[in-house]
């Protein structure tokens, strides 16, 4: 079964129709940043230079925005779920320059992606990283 984003990506005519008629809301990089920062205990930094913004929980990266490469979102991912997410969403692929099955990415320039899908992917990444924190890290955060 095709996802909403796949149906949108299949043709520019669909893209124009959805955008012109405001059927779906589409996030931009600024909104992704705001969405990540609204999550509890999230910090933002630029450890790889000015063109790369990362979002962390307890020092662990769950999202990276490689602004130097365009409107790309890279997310930490459970390697056991990697194949499923790549098969479900045609615009999701292995993240460039990261460990192959531990990071995914999508590019807003390649395909419009509904807000609900972007938020769900970010939420799953955040929860995955949060769930892998040590007992000590969780205690420090009051989790």
In tens digits, the chain (143 residues) has pLDDT values of 555 555 545 544 444 444 444 444 678 899 999 999 999 999 999 999 989 999 999 999 999 999 988 899 999 999 999 999 999 998 999 887 777 778 999 998 888 888 999 999 999 999 999 999 999 999 999 98
Give me the domain span that covers residue 47: 4-132
Asked, for residue 142, whether it belongs to a domain, the answer is no
pTM: 0.81
Report the length, in residues, of the chain.
143
Q: How many CA atoms lie within 13 A of 92 on its CB side?
A: 26
Q: How many CA atoms lie within 13 A of 9 on its CB side?
A: 18
The CATH number of whichever domain residue 63 belongs to comes to 3.90.1150.30
Asked, for residue 140, whether it belongs to a domain, the answer is no
81-to-25, 109, 134 alpha-carbon distances in Å: 26, 25, 21
Distance CA 54, CA 46 (A): 6
Instruction: Domain count for the chain, please give it.
Output: 1
**How far from the centroid of its chain's Cα atoms is residue 16's Cα?**
24
Q: Are 19 and 12 in contact (CB under 8 A)?
A: no
Give the pLDDT of residue 5.
52
């Amino acid at each position: 079964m095709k996802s909403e984003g796949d149906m949108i990506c299949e043709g520019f005519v669909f893209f124009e129709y959805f955008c012109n008629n405001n059927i779906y809301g589409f996030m931009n990089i600024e909104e992704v940043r705001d969405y990540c920062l609204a999550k509890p205990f999230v910090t933002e930094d630029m450890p790889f230079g000015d063109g790369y913004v990362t979002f962390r929980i307890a020092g662990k990266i769950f999202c990276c925005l490689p602004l130097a490469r365009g409107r790309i979102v890279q997310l930490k991912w459970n390697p056991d779920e990697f194949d499923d997410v790549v098969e479900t969403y045609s615009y999701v692929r292995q993240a460039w320059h990261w460990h192959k099955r531990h990071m995914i990415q999508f590019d807003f320039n390649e395909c419009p992606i509904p807000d609900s899908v972007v938020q769900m992917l970010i939420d799953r990444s955040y929860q995955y990283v949060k769930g892998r924190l040590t007992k000590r890290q969780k205690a420090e955060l009051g989790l």
